[in-house]
Structure 1
Amino acid sequence: MDNQEYNSIVSFIWGIADDCLRDVYVRGKYRDVILPMTVIRRLDAMLKETKPAVLERKKQLDAAKIDNQWPALCNEAGQAFCNASPFLLKDLTSRGKKQTLEADFKAYLDGFSPNVQEILDKFKFRDQIRTMVDADILGAVINKFTSADINLSPNPIYKDAEKKIVKLPGLDNHGMGTIFEELIRRFNEENNEEAGEHWTPRDVVELMADLAFYPVKNKIKDATYSCYDGACGTGGMLTVAQSRLLTLAGNRGKNVSIHLFGQEVNPETYAICKADMLLKGDGEEAEHIIYGSTLSFDGNPSRQFDFMLSNPPYGKSWKTDADKMGGKNEILDTRFDAYLSDGEELKMIPRTSDGQLLFLLNNVSKMKTDTELGSRIIEVHNGSSLFTGGAGSGESNARRYMIEHDLVEAIIALPDNMFYNTGIGTYIWVLSNKKDDRRRGKIQLIDATNMKSSLRKNMGNKNCEFTPEIRKEIVRIFLDMEESNISKIFDNSEFGYWNVTVERPLRLRVFPEREIPENAFKKQADLDTIRKAISGVPVSTPHDDWDTFADATELKKTQLKKIRPYITETDPRAKEVEGESDQELRDSEIIPFNYEGGIEAFIDKEVKPYAPDAYVDKSKTKIGYEISFTKYFYEPVKLRDMKDILASLAELEKESDGVIDEIIKGLK
């Protein structure tokens, strides 16, 4: 199914909202009806063929007085869910009285198995029934969703009895997810929600799946694997990952299975994800989808996974999570707090305005270390994760932890406008804790910003896509570790630096004749003592040497500290004050790890020629990491040759002369 067919279905469903809900709901509330009804209709279509068998089995179970009937009924339905009510959704279109329709519709909803009931509860859909009944629009909504002009079933609808001419194609599970997400995108735009609330388009998900599995396809064995997404949304990444692994394994004659795990904080998208798992018959997998925030409530604290794919929210505050965890400065979660080999604690808590790196660290904490394959992480971020935060910050420390543990294989820059609800630059991080020998200690940067194909019609902000050919080429560049103008490979140390504090000694000239204010001391006696001490300093005492002058006064350190601001000034010609630096002259320098000779060589070459007395306060030195694509891939615009510019100017001058002549003639 192509984008045009997706858009046709979305437009039809959107039209239901405009046709039936306009005078009853404000536009921002359309989603409260449309999204759950879309799920219900999809479930209904999946259960249509087996409905008679389910009802027959229910009669038998009722006669036998069996209480827990759901396992048997779901088995009869051939799905991980079922509906034991006597109705299909289409049956309710014949109800003439709205009271009868309301009762039967509620009975129909109550007939769903418990796993579907949870989905409906998360949608809070039952709260809408009374509103629709009172406005007499429930029947119209059901009629629209069961119309012959729309097909939400996985099976195609044919024009002819021989089933040769397709009228409406069937929808696979990811296609259904695509439609859900396009509806959510539109509703978000109606509500002016943040651009960061976006879904990962299928072409990007396909590339992520390729990057997860192709590098290790020869290592896949007859085994069971696990895949996890800590910000799973509607589960699209899990679905594609499952399909990719099974395909690759099948091509190599391997018999594998894969268990899917996910967590989602948004109740609607959580409900959609659970529904998607049920629609595939994966009842067990549906139970692996956890509701709640991954940051403050880790639904899989003791699990480790073979593959982890995710597109966490970026540019979004996680302050609520931080508060639940005891406050940003008190978080002790081991996922976000590490120790270096020398025992130094490495806090990796980023600013509360953006928590995307925490999702990556969450995945890192779930990597397997006792298997040949280890774990592979493929995650989408914006540019903030690459460079936000100076040395010693939570963001920099997170990068430091991952790079120094040699987990980062590659980072791929994607084209702008790849996502539906944001046009900002995005990057795919590729991590592994079992790197190939050729990748150890190295990171590959791939600039794929110009590797794109334009869409015939924009989908929100998305105006381009990765074709299968483009995805194949990106994966080839990655697998071959090709070096070119769009692919560069660096040692891990390339991205590290020292942030050093450069000090200059404090130099003070003394002016003993200057008056000390009367209010400098509470007691007049103390002031008198100070004045007497200063006046008693021998005349021969140098005024360009504070230490010598201070000793000559025989005053206490606390007294000297109080009077120094009044009787001294900095003077570059004065002698150094022992053990003190001049804060006004303090500076900092960023020194790359790869600078030949390190910190000392940098100071000797770059600083001391201009400030011979400069020195580094080693206690303040911090280590930082950042990755700048601009630094490595920026190509300045080639300037025009001066001869061409002069020729153009001469041509313009000739043209302007002719125009002026015409104007003058016109005036005459």
Structure 2
Amino acid sequence: MNHQSLSNFIWSVADLLRGDYKQSEYGRVILPFTVLRRLDCVLAPTRAAVLKEVEAGRPDPFLVRASGHNFFNRTAIDLAKLVGDQDNIGTNLLSYIQGFSPEVRDIFEQFEFGAQIDRLAKNGLLYQVTERFAGIDLHPTRVDNNQMGLAFEELIRKFAEISNETAGEHFTPREVIRLMVNLLFVEDDEVLTKPSVVRSIYDPTAGTGGMLSIAEEYLREHNPTAQLTMWGQELNPESYAICKADMLIKGQDITKIVQGNTLSDDGHPGAKFDYMLANPPFGVEWKKVQKEVQDEHQRLGHAGRFGPGLPRVSDGSLLFLMHLLSKMRPWTEGGCRFGIVLNGSPLFTGGAGSGESEIRRYMLENDLVEAIIALPTDMFYNTGIATYVWILSNKKPKARTGKLQLIDGSGFWQKMRKSLGSKRKQMSDDHIADVTRLFGAFVEAELATVLDAGDKEVAREVVIAGEAPPVAPEGGKVKLAPLSRIFANESFGYRTITVERPLLGENGKPVLGQKGKTKGKPQPDSALRDTENVPLSEDVEIYFAREVTPHAPDAWIDHEKTKIGYEIPFNRHFYVFEPPRPLAEIDAELAKVTARIQVMLTELAT
């Protein structure tokens, strides 16, 4: 049975729930029951051996060993026996759940499965739903871990799509994850080819576990013997339960998936990882955890997670990014690469000396950012804003050292047949391949748009630097726009200098200081004070002589107030100026329109 037909069968249970449950509530029943049936089948062959250990009064480690898995159930109940005792099905089902080992029991508690059992019983549906699941064989010999994992993901996606209003909080579009995973692994030949290689991957905002799952899929496709250990943390109880259940179904160690707020309570203190992926909430304030975060920042500095600085309370995106920086495996131990989805704010918000600027400064001066890729708008379920994938690494290849690649993927999309909330666009496999190729090759490139004589787009082509653009069709043209650009890290840095002008007295002459360091020097007029941003690559005095002195010969720089800042004005680097049409052409068009209006007015008057 393939995963599609399996998920369709499980989905058919929704027909039983229709009317008593809203569509958005189906997952609360179907997902935990799917997990329960899978565990029921997995434990069946060793159930007798486990019961023997239970009867002998053995502690949990003996039950784990007898089960042959890292979980067990200490009761003699299974779904077949539940269906055989219709009158006591509710009580027996609860007893069955309580018989699982603590980590598994936690999954059902987070699903609030007990409340769903009561609700199903009250609506006369408990027996029918249990019977339906008892009738499907999910034993590993019939449905392996990979098929089961794909089927479970299919269900998760369906429920996320139904619940558009909250999908974006816990569910990242699959094609975005695939792009990020491609970028994560594209330069790592060893992990893709070395037999039995073991790597760790971590997601601090795991949601339902989609990023971890797709990373594992990708690795299995390219290196079936590779092993990826998955670590994660999730705040939302239901998403946490789904993620943990997904990991359990795939045979992963579910103790590495923890619940809680990553920013205030790191669930994996001290742990370092080979790879990381994250899609933290966009533009969400962190006031609830402000005390804990500020305390760590002040008490531990760079020995903690938030040493570089703190962003404004209205947007916690950069806190998650710093958290990931603290989790990078040191380059002396093999290094780390991670991808994170952020909105536009972290690129430029905050002037020199602000928390945001200091965080950017830390990343760029330590040469940690490999690339930033702009995604199309309308890609996510709960927002249509512009988003960006950041790729960071402490093991940059030699060619990338000291450099940052910007890729404008905002035009790489196709329209969806049916919108899902705010999601109206998706990236195709070809779009993902193009972006991955540009990143992997580390090249500059342009996007050539071919237009016919009627100004209609007929083709698009990626033109690598040094290649000839396509030839324009007869009467048509080819428009070129930057697609991939490479900059030195210091290109994004600047000094904010404070420009002072003298305070003039009643006699119109500069007021001089009377004591201390300012004695005999012109005093500044705060009303005339101004600032200038000077690129790090340019000498401040030369800039001042060229840009300021000709307009204000009496001005000077207060060097004590100079601050260094960093910003990444992404859109500015991809802006293409299109000159307006010739004035004569516009005049001729206006004359035609005016003449047509005059004819119409004449016709109306007669």
Name the TM-score class by shorter chain: 0.7 to 0.9
The one-letter amino acid paired with 2:251 is G
Quote the residue 2:32 is aligned against.
40
Q: How far off is 1:488 after superposition?
A: 0.5
Following the alignment from structure 1 to structure 2, what is the Cα–Cα distance between the partners of residues 13 and 293? 34
Q: Which moved more, 1:44-53 or 1:601-610?
A: 44-53
Correspondence for 1:642 among 561, 572, 583:
583
Residue ranges of structure 2 left out of the alignment (5+ in a row): 446-481
List per-residue Cα deviations over 1:408-438 (Å, max 9, x = no partner): 1111111112222221111111111121111
* Post-superposition offset of 1:86: 4.9
Once residues 399 and 477 of structure 1 are traced to their aligned partners in structure 2, the CA distance between those partners, rounded to angstroms, is 24
Q: Among 87, 106, 109, which residue is 1:121 paired with?
A: 109
Secondary structure of 1:490's aligned partner: strand
CA contact (8 A) 1:265 1:292 kept: yes
Kindly report which structure 2 residues correspond to 1:479-494, keeping only aligned pairs within 5 A, or say none: 479-484=440-445, 485-494=482-491
C-alpha distance in structure 2 between counterparts of 1:663 and 1:440, whole Å: 72
Q: 2:554 aligns with which of 613, 616, 619?
A: 613
Partner of 2:504: 507
Residue 186 of structure 1: how far off its partner (Å): 4.3
Paired letter, 2:67: C
Question: For 2:380, what is the secondary structure of its paired residue?
Answer: coil
Q: Partner of 1:240: helix, strand, or coil?
A: helix
8 Å CA contact 1:509, 1:545 repeated in 2: no
Secondary structure of the corresponding residue to residue 180 of structure 2: helix
Q: Distance in 2 between matches of 1:478 and 1:103?
A: 57
Q: Residue 583 of structure 1 aligns with which residue? A: 526
1:111 aligns with 2:99: yes
Query: 2:3–2:148: 8 Å Cα contact kept in structure 1?
Result: no
CA deviations on 1:233-260 (whole Å, 9 max, x unpaired) are 222222222333344345xxxx543322
Would you say 1:630 and 2:571 are equivalent positions? yes
* 1:384 match: 345
1:171 to partner: Cα distance: 5.5
CA distance in structure 2 between the partners assigned to 1:497 and 1:610 by the alignment: 22
Per the alignment, do residues 397 and 153 of structure 1 end up closer, same or farther by CA in structure 2, a change over 3 Å counting? farther
8 Å CA contact 1:212, 1:376 repeated in 2: yes
330, 348, 356: which one aligns with 2:317 = 356
Amino acid at match of 2:186: Y
The amino acid that maps onto 1:115 is E
Q: What is the aligned partner in structure 2 of residue 71 from structure 1? A: 64
Tell me which amino acid in the other structure corresponds to 2:99. G
> Structure 1 residues 428 and 10, CA, compared in 2 at 3 Å: closer, same or farther?
farther
1:353 Cα deviation (Å)? 1.5
State the SS of the aligned residue for 2:311: coil
Compute the displacement of 1:277 (Å): 1.1
Matched residues in 1 for 2:76 and 2:2: separation? 36
Q: Which amino acid aligns with 1:21?
A: Y
Q: How does 1:18-37 map to 2 (within 5 A)?
A: 18-21=18-21, 31=25, 34-37=26-29
Shift of 1:45: 3.5
* Offset, 1:626: 0.8
Aligned mates of 2:206, 2:542 — CA distance in 1: 49
1:560-600 deviation line (CA, Å, top 9, x unaligned): xxxxxxxxxxxxxxxx98452101001111111133xx211
Which letter maps to 1:458?
Answer: S
Matches of 1:199 and 1:400, distance apart in 2:
31
* Contact residue 152 and residue 176 of structure 1 kept, 8 A: no
Distance between the aligned counterparts of 2:416 and 2:588, measured in 1?
A: 40
Q: Distance in 2 between matches of 1:225 and 1:245?
A: 10
SS where residue 338 of structure 2 aligns?
Answer: strand
Match of 1:261 in 2: 231
**1:213 and 2:185 are equivalent in the alignment:** yes
- Conserved in 1, the CA contact under 8 Å of 2:503 and 2:525? yes
Aligned counterparts of 1:81 and 1:245: Cα–Cα separation in 2: 26
| SS of equivalent to 2:503 | strand
* Structure-2 change in CA distance of 1:585 and 1:93 (3 Å): same
Of residues 236-245 and 619-628 in structure 1, the stretch that sits farther from structure 2 once superposed is: 236-245
Find the partner of 1:278 among 245, 248, 256.
248
Structure 1: stretches of 5+ with no match in the other structure: 158-169, 339-346, 511-542, 552-556, 558-575
Shift of the 592–2 alpha-carbon distance from structure 1 to 2, 3 Å rule, reads: farther
Q: What is the match of residue 495 of structure 1? A: 492
Tell me the equivalent position of 1:312. Answer: 280
Structure 2 residue identity aligned to 1:589: E
Deviation at 1:367, TM superposition (A): 2.1
Fraction of identical pairs, as percent: 37
What is aligned with 1:522?
none
Residue 353 to residue 146, structure 1, CA distance change in 2 (3 Å): farther
Matches within 5 A, 1:390-409: 390-409=351-370
Compared CA separation, residues 267 and 49, structure 1 to 2 (3 A): closer
Quote the residue 1:659 is aligned against.
600
Larger Rg: 1
Instruction: For 1:374 and 1:188, locate their aligned partners in 2 and report how far apart those are by CA, in whole Å.
Output: 38
Which has the higher mean CA deviation after the structures are superposed, 414-423 or 134-143? 134-143
Work out whether residues 205 and 233 of structure 2, in 8 Å CA contact, stay in contact via their aligned partners in 1.
yes
Equivalent residue letter for 1:504: R
1:415 to 2:376 alignment: yes
Distance in 2 of aligned mates of 1:152 and 1:642 = 73
Question: How many pairs are equivalent?
Answer: 561
Aligned-partner Cα distance in 2 for 1:5–1:474 = 33
Contact 1:304–1:368 (CA<8 Å) still a contact in 2?
Answer: yes
Q: In 2 relative to 1, CA 246–602 (structure 1 residues): closer, same or farther, beyond 3 Å?
A: same
Distance in 2, Cα, partners of 1:623 & 1:11: 57
Aligned-residue offset at 1:491: 0.7
Deviation at 1:647, TM superposition (A): 3.7
Q: CA deviation at 1:21?
A: 3.1
1:197, 1:431 → 2: CA distance?
Answer: 23
The code of the aligned residue for 1:104 comes to: N
Give the C-alpha shift of residue 112 in structure 1.
Answer: 2.9
Look up the equivalent residue of 1:56 and give its one-letter code: A
Residue 262 of structure 1, CA deviation: 1.4
Seen in structure 2, the aligned counterparts of structure 1 residues 381 and 147 have a Cα distance that, compared at 3 Å, is farther
Q: Aligned equivalents of 2:122 and 2:20: distance in 1?
A: 13
Give the drift of 1:646.
Answer: 3.3
Aligned residue runs from structure 1 range 22-171, under 5 A: 31=25, 34-47=26-39, 49-50=41-42, 52-68=44-60, 70-72=63-65, 74-75=67-68, 80-83=70-73, 85-89=75-79, 92=82, 97=87, 100-134=88-122, 136-139=124-127, 142=130
Partner of 1:173: 149
CA, structure 1 residues 13+205, in 2 after alignment: closer, same or farther (shift >3 Å)?
farther
State whether residues 453 and 464 of structure 1, in contact with CA within 8 Å, keep that contact through their aligned partners in structure 2. yes
Cα-Cα RMSD:
3.6
Q: Name 2:463's counterpart in structure 1.
A: none
Which residue identity is paired with 1:584?
A: A
Matches within 5 A, 1:404-553: 404-484=365-445, 485-509=482-506
8 A contact 1:217–1:249 mirrored in 2? no
State the AA in 2 paired with 1:354. D
- What is the distance in 1 between the residues matched to 2:305 and 2:59? 47
- 1:535 matched residue in structure 2: none
The match for 2:259 is: 291
CA distance 1:6–1:105, change in 2 (3 Å) = closer
Alpha-carbon separation, structure 2, partners of 1:507 and 1:429: 50
SS of aligned partner of 1:208? helix
Equivalent pair of 1:198/1:421 in contact (CA under 8 Å)? no
Is the alpha carbon distance of 1:6 and 1:143 closer, same or farther for their aligned partners in structure 2, counting shifts above 3 Å? closer
